[in-house]
Amino acid sequence: MTSDVRLVDMTLRDGMHAVDHQFTPDQMREVAGALDEAGMDVIEMSHGDGMGGSSINYGFAAASTADYLEAVTDVISNAKLSVLLLPGIGTVEQLELAVEQGADVCRIATHVTEADVSQEHFEYLEALGLEATGLLMLSHMAPPETVLEQAKLMESYGADYVYVMDSAGAMLPQDVRDRVELLAEELDCGVGFHAHNNLGLGIGNTLAGIEAGAETVDGCLRGLGAGAGNAQMEVLVGVLQKAGYEVSPDFFGVMDAAEDILLPMLTPETMPEVDNDTLLLGYAGVYSSFLRHTRRVAKRFDLDPRDILVELGEMGVVGGQEDMITDVAAHMAERAGGRPAEADD
């Protein structure tokens, strides 16, 4: 069967944000095995912020990249294995380790206006023989024409696919169409789309992206992911089949992977939902992975996390500026006459 749309499951990468990067290697093995058995096209794994993300700034993972890779490659036989690398966080050594362990795809993520920092990375991927995908994060922060300019840079560096990333879950369907359609018309490489559900539009926006020309899209079992989560993979498979698209994964198999394998690993605190905080992420256009950091800092300074998120949105913060959350909260508390800026746990 030839698929109309390639599906990339992010449960073991973007889903890591929801569990504070605490999936164990055994849990990763179980989820990856179920996804592979269900016929998933691509399975991505790593720390939520990519290889090398396990740190005090982004949160320490439960195990090393090597341990995670060994666990998932042991059970993946049909799907392609993808890893994520952010320039300035991931290292050449980690990428080479992923290749040694059998990774097929590497996705290079940059802020939507900073594609030029990825050139050496794409050239290195070509030398390694890996499929290369470029991710333009927080694509809502740039007009379609700028997104296209940056996508063309990634294509010129050797990207096989370039993604419009709605990293804040801030886009409406027309925003998705405007960007994806322009890239699909102007690029020779493939175009992808990645949704977050902060405005409740994860599935709707993904459909809009596919209708506009996206050939590959992302999702997570149970919608796990940063913020209010990603497009829910089992729902996405069913919706695409109902809409007449050919997709590789087995609908029941993906449902079972979500219900029988992933769900018992989750707690009420880790289940994604559109609540006041996640809704504000999408409304204010704040990077989805900021949510759990913001909630912790809000408790520390006795603040409403929504107030912090509004201020972060007004500042236009981007991925990699997680340290700004504490700075902003400290100054807000100081202005309010609360705990001083230097307060610590």
Q: Which residues are catalytic?
A: 17
How far is residue 247's CA from residue 241's CA, in Å, rounded to a whole number?
Answer: 7
- Kindly list the distances between the CA atom of residue 322 and the CA atoms of 36, 121, 294, in Å, as whole numbers in the listed order: 33, 23, 9
Is 171 within 8 Å of 198 (Cβ atoms)? no
**CA distance from start to end of the chain:** 56
Q: How far is CA 169 from the centre of its chain?
A: 11
SS3 assignment, position 279: helix
- Kindly list the distances between the CA atom of residue 17 and the CA atoms of 123, 127, 177, 337, in Å, as whole numbers in the listed order: 29, 31, 27, 32
SS3 assignment, position 253: helix
Q: Tokens 């996640």, residue?
A: 278
Spatial CB neighbours of 244, under 8 Å, sequence gap ≥ 6: none
